[in-house]
Every structure is written in C-alpha cells, then in structure tokens.
Amino acid sequence: MPIYGGWSHEAGLLAGDSVIGAGVATVMLVVLVMLIAFGVQVATALGLVSMAAIYAATGDWQVVSRLIVATAYDGLRVDAIIAIPLFMLMGEFIARSGAVTDVFRAATCALHRVPSGAALAAVAGNALHAFVAGGSAAGTAGYSHITYGELRRRAADRAASLGMLAGASALGMLLPPSVLMVTWGILTRQPVGAIFLAMLIPAMLALAGFVVSVLVAAPAPGSRENSRKDLPTDAPPPRAVASLIGILLVVVTVLLCVGLRLLSVAETASLGVGLALIMAIGKGMRAGAIVEAILVVGRASAPILLLIFAALLYGQALAVTGAGAAIQAALGSLGAAGALAVMVAIWLVLVTVLDALSAVALTAALFVPAASTLGIDPLALAVIGVLVLEGAPLVPPFGLLVFTARAAGEDGVPVFDIFRHVLPVLTILMAAILLVAAFPKVAIWLPYLVR
C-alpha cells in the first residue's frame, strides 16, 4: 500500500507525541481559508499555516526547520517533479509549432461535406489544443477564436457553437499526460504512469459521448451562401497529415513508456520533449522561439513546484498535529458514498475560486488516506478527482471556460445561453464520475493489468 500525503518518517515519529487533534484542524482550516480569501497565494498560505501548526504542536522551531528540510529532501527529489516542466515544455513546443492548427484545418477539409463536420472539426481542434497546452484560460480563449471563426461561417447558433468549444476544451484536459495528474501522483505517492493509464478509458468514454452529442445537437447550418463559400478541398494537405502523425507519435510514446514502466516519468518526459522539439524544428520553429518557449515554461512551472513543496509541508503539519487524522475520521464516519459526495462538493466549491492544482494541494493529503480507509481504490479516486476538477470550469455560474469561450466569440452572446449548451458535457462528465464510483474497475483494470 502506498504512503499518502507526503508524510516523512520523522513526521510520523513526531505525530505520536505531538497530536493536538480536531481543535487545531479547525484552526488550521479557518486560518487557511482567511489567508486565501484575503488574496494570499495558496502556496504561501499553506507554508505559513503549516509552519505555525507544527510549532504549535511541538513548541520547537528546530523541529519546524528539520521538517522543512526533510520535506525538501524527501519530497522534491522524486523524478516526477522534473517531469512537470518537461511535460509543459513538450506541450509548448507542439502548440507553438502550429501542428494543432494544421490538424484542425485538415479535419475541416476532410469533414466539410459531413453533417456536423464543421462542429466536429472545431471540437477536435479545441480538445487537442487544450490537451497539448494544458488548458490554460488564456490559451483556450486564443485558440477558440480560431475554431469559432471557422465554425461561425457554417453555423447559425452562436451560443451552441461556443458551448461546444468550451466543452471540448474541458474534455481535452482529461487526456494524459497532464500536469494535474502528475501533481496528484506526487502529492499522494501514487505512480504517475498508473494514473495516466487509469484516466484513459474514462476520458475516451467521455470524449466519445461528447462526439455523439455533437452529432445529435450540432449548431444549425448557416445560410447556403455561407455554408458554400470558400469550401476547402476534401484532401487534407501533407503538412497536416505530418502534424497529426507527429502529435500521435509523441503522445503514444509517452503513454507506452510511462504506462509500461519502460522509462521513469522524468525520462519519458525528456523523450517527449525531444520528439516535440524535432517536430517543431521540422515545421520551421527557430532558435529564438525555442528559447522563448523554454523561458515561458520556466516562469509558469516555478509557482507549481513551489505549490507542491508547500502542499507536502502541509501534509507534514497534518501528520504532526493530528489534524489530518481528525478530518479523516470525520470523513470516515460518513461512509464511502457520503465521503465521496462531500469530497466532490468540496472540489466544486474550491474550483470556483481557485485553480485545480491549488484544490489538489489543499485536499489530497486529507482525501486520499480517508478514501483508502473506506475501501475506495486510490486510482479510482484520482480519476474521479481529475474528472471533477477539470469539469468544474464549466459549472454555472462561475465556469471559467465558458467565459473564456464567450470572449473568443466577440459578438455579445449571453453567457447563460452558453451555459445551457454545456449541459450535455456536464451530464457526460457526471455520468463518467458515477460510472467510476460505482464500477471502479472501469478505470483501474488497465493499470493493474500492466503493473
């Protein structure tokens, strides 16, 4: 059984003598919520609260400093840490190479005579971009502007078009490899490759369900003139075919190497970066753009690594003070179904004000061990967590992906009309969550098969 929450051996020894219990759990959570509410960064709030709680439990700053050092040494030396900026760089190279746009235009060429073909091409483009770019709001808005322009020329319903693009962006983020999945693995001491494999079947089922919903309820065609104007040829250009093959080669190589444990996560991520860089150079990416991509990823990944360190220290504080055990006991008293419902509700609330990574940092050290004691498979919980956290930006009335998709439209579509058209995606995601909760083998059979 894996060890969860990043608790070091030293923290475990101290916990026996330094438990404060439910009182400090309440204080920790209240102070943490207040700091975040007043605008303190989640990583900073976690670090400050954790150090104060450890000192309150032990009365010795030497213990606090020793646990900080132990957390840095034990937690940040795992090879999955370096995989985070490497996977981000891999996606950055693919996104900047123009490969995703090539695939979108190829799909537009191939499907323009098919009913709902324009919608399917736009959905594929947005999902693929969200997958390679990590689903950032800015990136989603920028790429939705491209796909929406093409979709708008052939569809009359603007709200339905934007709803589809927002849904596709959310579903694209479910596909491994993903920074959220790597972070979950680090914080819960689960094999990252196993999480990738566990996500494959639920993600593919959700995408298949979404494609069916697009075929059934695609935006109505526009005028005959618009639908006929500037129709592309049926044959996708060789450049687009090469881009699709390149993306598939990178993704399949990464999944096979890390899923079958042919290479470590860091080695696999390095290989993915190399393949993505070769593809980007082959598509004309220059040295200046390569350096810029590296710098962008460095600036974006540094806060994530700091957040992981703070979350690991938070796990130490939960162990030393006994707050973690008190909260886990409270969850355990609800039973498996009740505890899972509470976890999902908490994730949904957190993602209305925080990003998914921060929500994982705040909850992983509490939820995973509690779920394990209730008999919930940790891989199944990881899948449910990713489905909830990546789907939450679609939930009204605060769905961030809906607002970014609306910004791409630039034509004043009422936001609640777009929310109405993301309901099919939310229904599909809810069905996937319930499926994994009721039948966890849907998710876990593949990683257990190859382990």
Q: What pLDDT was estimated at residue 221?
A: 55
pLDDT at 291 exceeding the cut of 90? yes
What are the C-alpha distances in Å from 403 to residues 173, 214, 319, 351, 418?
17, 20, 40, 15, 9
Q: What pLDDT was estimated at residue 105?
A: 77
The answer to whether the bond into 397 is cis (omega within 30° of 0) is yes
The pLDDT of 126-149, averaged and rounded, is 63
pLDDT at 371 exceeding the cut of 80? yes
> Which tops the pLDDT comparison, 226 or 236?
236
- The whole-chain average pLDDT of the chain stands at 80
Q: What pLDDT was estimated at residue 100?
A: 81
Angle of the 158-172 helix axis to the 192-217 helix axis, nearest 10:
160
Q: What is the DSSP letter of 114?
A: S
The pLDDT of 284-309, averaged and rounded, is 90
In this prediction, residue 16 has a pLDDT band, given cuts at 50, 70 and 90, of very low
- Give the residue among 344, 336, 335 at the shortest CA–CA distance from 426: 344
Q: What pLDDT was estimated at residue 64?
A: 87
The pLDDT of 218-226, averaged and rounded, is 50
Q: What pLDDT was estimated at residue 441?
A: 92
The pLDDT of 129-153, averaged and rounded, is 62
Instruction: List, as one string, the DSSP characters of 325-342.
Output: HHHHHHHHTTHHHHHHHH
Which token pair is 442?
């849907």
Q: What pLDDT was estimated at residue 223?
A: 46
319-365 per-position pLDDT tens digit: 887 777 878 888 888 898 999 999 999 999 888 888 888 999 989 88
Return the H-helix or E-strand segment holding 179: helix 179-188
Place of tokens 């162990």: 319
375-390 per-position pLDDT tens digit: 899 999 999 999 999 8
Place of tokens 């010795």: 60
194 contacts 451 by C-beta, under 8 angstroms: yes
Q: Which residues pair with 155 in a beta bridge?
A: 221
Place of tokens 């040295």: 287
> Which tops the pLDDT comparison, 408 or 42?
42
